[in-house]
Amino acid sequence: MAVSMEQVPKLRPGFRFQWEPAQSAHVLLYPEGMVRLNGSAGAVLKEVDGRRNVADIVAILEREFPDAGSLEVDVCEFLKDAEQQQWIMFA
């Protein structure tokens, strides 16, 4: 199922997003372990707060990275993957 721009993503219960200095990267912590995120994944998940919808997240990232062009497809694909990995859910 495709991600719509109106959906509101949030981290699943038990998951915590943070910067990890030892990894020099954003990570996603959960009871069974940790996922080290690449720069793009960290930038997207940094904006996932359970209040912003996908359109808001795309707009924020397009302002933050103006040279990247349209990010709608990339953000939607990442959020779909993150949902399949059970990192996030849609409210």
**Per-residue pLDDT tens over the stretch 57-80:** 999 999 999 999 999 999 999 999
The pLDDT score that the predictor gives to residue 42 is 98
Neighbours of 87 (CB within 10 A): 21
Residues 47 and 40: their CA atoms lie apart, in Å, by: 11
pTM of the model: 0.94
- Find all residues with CB under 8 Å of 6, minimum gap 6, and list them: 53, 54, 55
The pLDDT score that the predictor gives to residue 1 is 72
